[in-house]
Amino acid sequence: MNHKILLVDDEKDIVDLIEEVLRQDGFQNIEKAYTGEDAVEFCKSFEPDVIVLDIMLPDLDGIEVCKKIRGFSFCSILFLSSKNDDVDKILGLSSGGDDYITKPFSPREVVFRIKAQLRRQQYQSSIHTPETETVATGRLLLDKESCRILKSGKELSLTGREFLLLAYLIENADKILSKERLYEHVWGEYSSICDNTIMVHIRHIREKIEDIPSSPRQLVTIKGLGYKLKKRVD
């Protein structure tokens, strides 16, 4: 398989074990890093499709590494953690992670989840093939070819997940989209702990597109149903 996988954990035995199982399953393009700083640099040069990232690293923790990577990469990030706590899962997912695996784990489970992320990427790529390269909604313009969103002609500074979420809202302007639907489209399988992830990202997007983020007029909450991005703001 030509998919690129980056494994990041300061425990070499764990990295080697996951690598072995991946290679048995046909994955050949694998790189390894043992610190957070190395992970960020590897991600820039290697450009992986999926990163398996331990939260507890000797320099930067995995959450900080994830935030740095989200500044320049849309790749899938699977967190490894020895903590099985909803708060930690929310922190990981809200920082830009796509999945969360608790230690001890089965290496086969890690491979299964990597494959699930790759399938999701393939699916999203197929449905995002544009018939038209730009979509305008009010003062917002989605440029699909360059993966940019502009407000009144000025490019917005968005993280990878913020871009995917806002692009989906623009493509479905004036439609009410539930939290479940938004999460499944941008991150994958939905669960109740993901509500906070959606709210955090919606708040960040409002800070970038609304004149008064605390009183949103374009990206509005429809109580009990979800969110709607209005095509026109009176």
**pLDDT, tens only, 118-167:** 877 776 665 555 555 788 898 999 988 778 899 999 999 888 778 889 99
Instruction: Convert 6-43 to b/e letters by CB count within 10 Å (16 or more is b).
Output: bbbbeeeebbeebbebbeeeebeebbbbbebebbbebb
Architecture of domain 134-229 in this structure: Orthogonal Bundle (1.10)
Share of the chain above pLDDT 90, in %: 50
Question: Whose CA is closest to 166, among 194, 198, 124?
Answer: 198
Q: Characterize the bridge pairing of strands 29-33 and 4-8.
A: parallel
Lowest mean pLDDT among 23-27, 49-53, 78-82, 212-216: 78-82
Query: Which residues have a Cβ under 8 Å from the Cβ of 58 and sit 6 or more positions away?
Result: 10, 34, 35, 36
Which ranges in the chain are annotated with CATH 1.10.10.10?
A: 134-229
Contact 133, 143 (CB under 8 A): yes
Residue type, 60: L
What local confidence, expressed as pLDDT, does residue 132 receive?
59
The residues with which 29 forms a beta bridge, in sequence order, are 4
Whole-angstrom distance, CA of residue 115 vs CA of residue 49: 11
**Per-residue confidence at 86, pLDDT binned at 50, 70, 90?**
low
Residue environment code for 84-108, b if the CB has 16+ CB neighbours within 10 A, otherwise e? eeeebbbbbbbbbbbbbeeeeeebe
Fold adopted by 4-127: Rossmann fold (3.40.50)
Q: What is the pLDDT of residue 82?
A: 79
- What is the model's pLDDT at position 126? 58
What is the Cα gyration radius of the chain? 18
Query: Which residue ranges does the chain devote to CATH 3.40.50.2300?
Result: 4-127
